[in-house]
Amino acid sequence: GVLHDKPDAKYRLNEERLVGLKETQRKLMDTCSSYVKPGGVFVYATCSILSEENAEQVESFLRDHQDFELSPLPETIPESFREQAGPFGLQLLPGADGMDGFFIARMVRKTDA
């Protein structure tokens, strides 16, 4: 998502490194989410444009943590962006959205779980 600022990053990313990043992200989500109280908000955000690090991570997280559910993005995010949100979060792209690549998903821990 930030390759224009760090063009060398594309030469360091390979399939093996991506697998490691995904595993680290999964562990971070598992650990951080354990501190969210019922009714509390959990935000997952990356500066990546890869679905493996973004929507697929959120989909997997929600499948494994059924006490969480996706929640609408807050009104502090412009409506034009909120309208672009997919089923597992909002993906912004450098060429299409006039900014760095970015992903954000907002989840809430259910109160009745």
Whether 8 and 53 have beta carbons less than 8 Å apart is answered as no
Q: Which of 21, 47, 77, 93 is the catalytic position?
A: 47
Three-state secondary structure call for residue 102: strand
**32 in helix, strand or coil?**
helix
Is 32 one of the catalytic residues?
A: no
**Integer Cα distance of 36 and 18 in angstroms:** 27
Query: Which amino acid, 33?
Result: S
* The residue type at 55: A
Which residue numbers are catalytic?
A: 47
